[in-house]
Amino acid sequence: MAKAKEKTARQKLQADAKDHFEWAIELDSTYVKPLYQRMCILKNETEYEEALADALKIKELDPGFAGIGPTIAELEKLKAQKFEKMKEEVMGGLKNLGNMFLGNFGMSIDNFKMQQNPDGTYNLQY
């Protein structure tokens, strides 16, 4: 129970800090330090797309900012991994839904095969 309260308190502090950094960015959009701090918080919250946008803005404003190149590469990788995980979850859910309906007819999604054509379209075969 204590860990849950600690986590909630930490999340509240991060949310408050993020609000302050956003306020500072609104005052001066070229100020790199609050962008970096917000990027770190967004990364911790697994909001990789928004964190990547901040990292790219930092690189644009200060190309020599220490460690920004590797950070951008890491965020791009994390963003891609998060997308793949979400895609797998959605496809799994769709497969379960399809099997639920097809099961009434003694069929399964596994009976179907999708082949991609050279032009990018797909063929569905039973």
- Cα dist. 9→12, 42, 68 in Å? 5, 17, 29
Q: Where in the chain are the domains?
A: 2-81
pLDDT for the residue numbered 1? 55
**CATH assignment of 2-81, among 1.25.40.10, 3.30.450.80, 3.90.1150.10, 3.30.1490.20:** 1.25.40.10
Cα(16)–Cα(7) distance, integer angstroms: 14
pLDDT in tens, 14-31: 888 999 999 999 999 899
Q: At what angle do helices 32-44 and 68-102 cross, to 10 degrees?
A: 30
Query: Following DSSP, what letter does each residue of 7-52 receive, concatenated?
Result: HHHHHHHHHHHHHHHHHHHHH-TT-HHHHHHHHHHHHHTT-HHHHH
Tokens of 50: 């928004």
Name the pTM for this structure. Answer: 0.70
